[in-house]
């Protein structure tokens, strides 16, 4: 009997017609160190295993279409699934206003951020590691959606927590230069470096844009090897996916 793919269902006040899920690492066929539900085709896993894992997710979630798998580069480019297919590569966020098209980003410590219009007119997901956050991937995504920020809600998915995310002065400076208040998201450790709170930084960015309803942000990928892949913890590892679509 085929094991069902393990997923986390976002708890947020998404409007009727908006569906979302975050895949966990169980329920796939990949061998170690990609065991078992690896959805990343770029990490060195067997292509056949990745294809089967993606098929299981598509079937298990009753997806209306194959997710639009992006080539993620830690940037701010936003792909639009309603535009021509050739515009979808090399992007770190994706949007759609059309039912039946599945937005997706892959992660293994970076924070996935789901965004939905309260009237279910549009959805998006962004890949928000520190580089993307600092560069403005959330701002670019909200701008591309073209929906008033007060009419959007967001969900922060699993990512590495401040306890396990040590960064240098250059990372802190990238956030403090435009927003001195971001200092609250960094705590100096005994090595003279900084513990960085990605969820807090994402919340600040979203609040500054005008989003008043943001859920999630409580899971640590590094601390839970049973459920989550973590690049910082394991190096070679699989990728999970945050998915959102309109019915």
In a domain, 228, yes or no: yes
Overall number of domains in the chain: 1
pLDDT tens digits along 171-202? 999 999 999 999 999 999 999 999 999 999 99
The answer as to whether 207 is a domain residue is: no
pLDDT tens digits, one per residue of 41-83 = 999 999 999 999 999 999 999 999 999 999 999 999 999 999 8
Domain assignment present for residue 123? The answer is yes
DSSP string across 105-171 = EEESSSEEEEEEETTSS-EEEEEE-HHHHHHTHHHHHHHHHTS-GGGEEEEE--B--TTT-EE-HHH
For position 108, which CATH number holds? Answer: 3.60.140.10
- Is 174 domain-assigned? no
Reference 111, options 240, 198, 196; nearest CA is 198
In this prediction the pTM is 0.95
Q: What domain range is 67 assigned to?
A: 7-11+14-160+217-246
Q: Is residue 229 part of a domain?
A: yes
């Amino acid at each position: 009997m085929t094991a069902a793919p393990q997923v986390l269902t976002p708890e947020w006040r998404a409007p009727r017609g908006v569906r979302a899920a975050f895949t966990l690492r169980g329920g796939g066929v990949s061998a170690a160190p990609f065991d078992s539900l690896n959805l990343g085709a770029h990490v060195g896993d067997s292509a056949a295993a990745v294809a089967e894992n993606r098929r299981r997710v598509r079937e298990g979630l009753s997806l209306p279409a194959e997710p639009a798998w992006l080539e993620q580069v830690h940037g701010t480019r936003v792909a639009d699934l309603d535009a021509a297919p050739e515009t979808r590569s090399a992007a770190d966020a994706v949007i759609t206003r059309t039912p039946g098209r599945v937005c997706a980003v892959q992660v293994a410590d970076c924070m996935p951020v789901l965004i939905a219009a309260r009237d279910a007119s549009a959805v998006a997901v962004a890949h928000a590691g520190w580089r993307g956050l600092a560069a403005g991937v959330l701002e670019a995504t909200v701008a591309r959606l073209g929906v008033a920020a007060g009419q959007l809600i967001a969900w922060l998915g699993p990512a590495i927590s401040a306890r396990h995310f040590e960064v240098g002065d250059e990372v802190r400076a990238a956030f403090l230069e435009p927003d001195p208040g971001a200092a609250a998201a960094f705590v100096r450790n005994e090595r003279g470096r900084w513990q960085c709170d990605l969820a807090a930084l994402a919340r600040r960015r979203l609040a500054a844009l005008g989003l008043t309803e943001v859920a999630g942000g409580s899971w640590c990928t590094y601390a839970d090897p049973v459920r989550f892949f973590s690049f910082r913890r394991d190096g070679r590892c699989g990728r999970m996916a945050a998915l959102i679509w309109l019915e």
